[in-house]
Amino acid sequence: VKSGNDTEIRAKAAFALGQLMRFDEAISELTICVEREPENFLYNSSLAYTAYNSLYAANNREIFLRGKPRQERVELAHKYFSKAQELRPDGITNYYREGMLYKQIEGKTRKSVYLFETAVKNWRVLDEESKKARSQERKNYVKSLYQLASCLVNLDLPNRALKFLNECISEDEESNYICPLFKYFALGKVYYRLGKFEKARDALNFALSCNTKQFPDYVYELLARVLLAMDEPQNALETINKIPERKRRPYCRWTESDILCALRDFDGARKILLRATERDNRSRHKTLVRLAKIEYINGNFEKSGEYAREAGKFFHEKWGGILGDALFWEAVSAYRLGDYTRAKKLTTDLRDFNPRYPKLQQLLRKLEQSESPSEKEVL
């Protein structure tokens, strides 16, 4: 130890400490290893992974890591993932893991795409002999296909997503690195985004047939939304009702309310959404916007404006930003109430925030005319 020949021992100790979730100690040991051998791939990769693993543990509330220390840990992981990639640019695992760091830990989907693409490309260019020699990395290749598809559908690129997801399903047919439930739920989601509702329904029904210990409420919710898109609101209602009341998270309530609106049960939809606002302290603005829409459709423009205003206020206080939907529904409500001055101000604010907001130009034209709307006119 005194002669400094303990580097390998420190690396092994760091691995053990990481397994025990003593991440700070593990990082300290690996930092010494990297300082002594800055071009050692294993030490750089291990330090990046340990930092990355600690962030997952924090997300799972297994350790406490917030604020500045958390951000410093994120930066540490990125620094050593980059170094490991520089040392082995033909790798798979470090690109996959940094992609997950961006996507799952930081919520930066767009930044993760290149990393997943690189992991996929690096595996594909290997010859069969190299693939056999590096078979332990195949799992992260398959996972990269899945995560890449997930990113692309969330970036509104469902056609590209479908290509990679089908490849993932084919590659993973025997290995099942990814639970079939997740793969076929993702397939249903992609088909839904593509407007291929029958294929989406079939994929989701297959997902539900997969054995799982978890209750897949999210699969039932999407299946209900697919059935609603197929103009089968009664079947959609029966599907959403398969989710026990206590398991219906806010997004399930939104779908449930949309189904009830399609069945012209606006009172039922109101009750569902009002109950949801009492329990939701993260996405309450989305519930309030739906309430604003319901009141608007039913001609209750003053109440619609109140809900829209409340949605905008909640979003600003909780997330520190502007909510375009809130501005729009408050503006159209003011317009229908004949308060053109307020409607023009809100519409101008919306234009400054998002000039491409749907139906914004239509509203601007009506305000320019400054004419009273007919009772039948609905934006």
Whether the predicted pLDDT of 70 surpasses 50: yes
Could you tell me the CA-to-CA distances from 243 to 51, 180, 187, 192, 229 in Å, in that order?
Answer: 38, 20, 21, 20, 19
Other CB atoms within 10 A of residue 176 CB: 10
Whether the predicted pLDDT of 269 surpasses 70: yes
pLDDT at 165: 98
Average of per-residue pLDDT across 365-373 = 75
Whether the predicted pLDDT of 75 surpasses 50: yes
Q: Are 324 and 360 in contact (CB under 8 A)?
A: no
Whether the predicted pLDDT of 4 surpasses 90: no
pLDDT at 279: 84
Question: What's the chain's average pLDDT?
Answer: 95
pLDDT at 371: 57
Whether the predicted pLDDT of 195 surpasses 50: yes
Q: What is the pLDDT of residues 30-44, one digit of tens each?
A: 999 999 999 999 999
pLDDT at 213: 79
pLDDT at 369: 85
| Beta strand spans in the chain (E) | none
Helix (H, G, I), strand (E, B) or coil at 243: coil
Q: What is the pLDDT of residues 134-144, one digit of tens each?
A: 999 999 999 99
Buried b (16+ CB within 10 A) or exposed e, 278-302: eebeebbbbbbbbbbbbbbeeeebe
Least confident interval from 29-43, 60-74, 87-101, 209-223: 209-223
Other CB atoms within 10 A of residue 126 CB: 17
In order, the DSSP letters of 19-86 are HTT-HHHHHHHHHHHHHH-TT-HHHHHHHHHHHHHHHHHHHTTSS---HHHHHHHHHHHHHHHHHHHH
Whether the predicted pLDDT of 60 surpasses 80: yes
pLDDT at 220: 97
Q: What is the pLDDT of residues 104-158, one digit of tens each?
A: 999 999 999 999 999 999 999 999 999 999 999 999 999 999 999 999 999 999 9
* pLDDT grade for 375, boundaries at 50, 70 and 90: very low
pLDDT at 139: 98
pLDDT at 215: 85
Q: Are 344 and 367 in contact (CB under 8 A)?
A: yes
pLDDT at 134: 96
Helix (H, G, I), strand (E, B) or coil at 175: coil
Q: Which CATH class is domain 1-88?
A: mainly alpha
Could you tell me the CA-to-CA distances from 286 to 107, 154, 178 in Å, in that order?
Answer: 19, 18, 31
- Between CA 177 and CA 92 the distance in angstroms is 16
Residue 373 DSSP label: P
Q: Which two tokens stand for residue 271?
A: 């009750």
pLDDT at 214: 80
Q: Are 290 and 308 in contact (CB under 8 A)?
A: no
CA dihedral 286, 287, 292, 293 (to 10 degrees): 80
pLDDT at 307: 98
- Between CA 154 and CA 98 the distance in angstroms is 18
Residue 102 amino acid letter: Y
- Greatest extent of the chain over all pairs of C-alpha atoms, in Å: 89
DSSP H/E element including 325: helix 324-336
In order, the DSSP letters of 280-303 are -SSSHHHHHHHHHHHHHHTT-HHH
